[in-house]
Structure 1
Amino acid sequence: MTASVPAIAVPAFALTWWLGCYLVGRDPTRALLWRAGAALVAYAIAVAAWSLAPGSGIAQLLICVPALCWAGVSVGLLPPEVPEHRQVNRGWPVLALVFLVLAAALPGVGKLVALAPLAGGMALLLRYRDQARPSSLPSALTAAAILYTLGLVVMLGPIDLGPPIVVLAAIGIDLLLMGYLVAVADAVDLGERLLPDLRRSLLAAVLAVLLCGGPAALTMLAAPGLGAVRVLQFVLLAAVLSAVGLAGQLRAGLDQLAFGSDDRLRQNRSVLLRAADALPRRRGRHQMPVLDAEEFRRLTRRALDDFGDVGRLLRNPLAELPAVDRRLAARGPGAADQPLVRAAELRAVLGEHVARLRPAGGFDTTEEWRFFNALYYCGVMGLRPYQRGPQPEGLDRDARRAVDWFRRYVPRRSMHRWQAEGAAMVAAQLWRDLIATDPRWLTGAGAATRRQPVR
Structure 2
Amino acid sequence: MPAIAVPAFALTWWLGCYLVARDPARVVLWRAGGALGSYAVAVVAWSVAPGSTAARVLLCVPALCWSGVATALLPRGVPERRQVNRGWAYASGLFLLLALLLPGVGKLVALAPLAGATVLLVRYRDRVRPASLPAALGAAAALYAAGLVVMLAPIDLGSAEVVLAAIGLDLLLLGFLVAVADATEAGERLVPDLRRSSVAAVVATLLCGGPAALTMLAVPASRTVTVLQFVLVAAVMGAVGLAVPLRSGLDRLAFLQDERLRQDRSALLLAAEALPRRRERHRMIAMDEEEFRRLTRRALDDFGDVGRLLRNPLIDLPMVDRRLHTRGPGVAEQPLVRAAELRTVLAEHVAKLRPAAGFGTTDEWRWYNALHYCCVLGLRPYDRAPQTDGLGRDARQALDWFRRHVPRSTLRRWTAEGADKVAARLWRDLLSTDPRWLTRADAVRPGR
Q: Confirm or deny a common fold (TM above 0.5).
A: yes
- Other-structure match for 2:330: 334
- Other-structure match for 1:384: 380
1:282-337 deviation per Cα after TM superposition (whole angstroms, max 9, x unaligned): 01111101111111111101101111111111111111110000011111111121
- Other-structure match for 2:203: 207
* Cα distance, 1:102 vs structure 2: 0.8
* Cα distance, 1:228 vs structure 2: 0.4
- Other-structure match for 1:25: 21
Q: What pairs with 1:268-307 in structure 2 (closer than 5 Å)?
A: 268-307=264-303
1:84-115 deviation per Cα after TM superposition (whole angstroms, max 9, x unaligned): 10011011111111111111111111111111
Distance 2:254 2:280 in 1: 36
1:264-291 deviation per Cα after TM superposition (whole angstroms, max 9, x unaligned): 5434433332222111110111110111
- Are the counterparts in 2 of residues 292 and 450 from structure 1 also a CA contact under 8 Å? no
- Are the counterparts in 2 of residues 137 and 181 from structure 1 also a CA contact under 8 Å? yes
- Which of 214, 218, 226 does residue 218 from structure 1 map onto? 214
- Other-structure match for 2:174: 178
Amino acid at match of 1:274: L
SS at match of 2:326: helix
- Are the counterparts in 2 of residues 290 and 446 from structure 1 also a CA contact under 8 Å? no
SS at match of 2:360: coil
Distance 2:204 2:283 in 1: 34
For the pair 1:82 / 2:78, whether they are aligned, the reply is yes
- Other-structure match for 1:46: 42
* Cα distance, 1:255 vs structure 2: 2.9
Superposition TM-score, scaled by structure 1 size: 0.95
User: Cα RMSD between the aligned structures?
Assistant: 1.7
Q: Quickly say closer, same or farther: Cα 1:447–1:35, change in 2 above 3 A.
A: farther
- Are the counterparts in 1 of residues 31 and 69 from structure 2 also a CA contact under 8 Å? yes
Q: Quickly say closer, same or farther: Cα 1:11–1:310, change in 2 above 3 A.
A: same
Amino acid at match of 1:316: N
* Cα distance, 1:391 vs structure 2: 2.2
SS at match of 1:387: coil
* Cα distance, 1:362 vs structure 2: 2.1
- Other-structure match for 2:225: 229
- Which of 400, 405, 410 does residue 414 from structure 1 map onto? 410
Superposition TM-score, scaled by structure 2 size: 0.96
* Cα distance, 1:192 vs structure 2: 0.5
- Are the counterparts in 1 of residues 5 and 43 from structure 2 also a CA contact under 8 Å? yes
- Other-structure match for 2:136: 140
- Which of 4, 8, 26 does residue 12 from structure 1 map onto? 8
Distance 2:445 2:290 in 1: 9
Distance 1:170 1:93 in 2: 27
For the pair 1:249 / 2:245, whether they are aligned, the reply is yes
- Other-structure match for 1:192: 188
Amino acid at match of 2:406: V
SS at match of 1:14: helix
Q: What pairs with 1:97-112 in structure 2 (closer than 5 Å)?
A: 97-112=93-108
Distance 2:126 2:270 in 1: 35
Distance 1:324 1:141 in 2: 38
- Other-structure match for 1:240: 236
SS at match of 2:299: helix
For the pair 1:94 / 2:75, whether they are aligned, the reply is no
Distance 2:324 2:52 in 1: 63
1:198-246 deviation per Cα after TM superposition (whole angstroms, max 9, x unaligned): 0011011111111101100110011011110010000001011111111
- Other-structure match for 2:311: 315
- Are the counterparts in 2 of residues 292 and 449 from structure 1 also a CA contact under 8 Å? no
SS at match of 1:331: coil
* Cα distance, 1:444 vs structure 2: 4.9
Amino acid at match of 2:410: S
- Other-structure match for 2:110: 114
Structure 2 gap ranges (5+) = none
Distance 2:91 2:222 in 1: 38
- Are the counterparts in 1 of residues 431 and 441 from structure 2 also a CA contact under 8 Å? no
- Which of 113, 123, 128 does residue 127 from structure 1 map onto? 123
- Other-structure match for 2:354: 358
For the pair 1:448 / 2:447, whether they are aligned, the reply is no
Amino acid at match of 2:87: G
* Cα distance, 1:414 vs structure 2: 1.8
Amino acid at match of 1:162: G
* Cα distance, 1:355 vs structure 2: 1.2
Distance 2:117 2:386 in 1: 42
For the pair 1:405 / 2:377, whether they are aligned, the reply is no
- Are the counterparts in 1 of residues 189 and 279 from structure 2 also a CA contact under 8 Å? yes
* Cα distance, 1:131 vs structure 2: 0.8
Q: Quickly say closer, same or farther: Cα 1:385–1:450, change in 2 above 3 A.
A: farther
Structure 1 gap ranges (5+) = none
- Are the counterparts in 1 of residues 380 and 386 from structure 2 also a CA contact under 8 Å? no
Distance 2:437 2:181 in 1: 25
Distance 2:174 2:195 in 1: 17
Distance 2:282 2:409 in 1: 37
- Are the counterparts in 2 of residues 442 and 450 from structure 1 also a CA contact under 8 Å? no
Q: Quickly say closer, same or farther: Cα 1:406–1:261, change in 2 above 3 A.
A: farther
Distance 2:386 2:8 in 1: 48
* Cα distance, 1:258 vs structure 2: 2.9
Amino acid at match of 2:213: A
* Cα distance, 1:402 vs structure 2: 1.8
Distance 2:264 2:95 in 1: 47
* Cα distance, 1:413 vs structure 2: 1.9
Amino acid at match of 2:200: A
Distance 1:342 1:439 in 2: 21
- Other-structure match for 1:155: 151
SS at match of 2:378: coil
Amino acid at match of 1:186: D
- Are the counterparts in 1 of residues 64 and 110 from structure 2 also a CA contact under 8 Å? yes
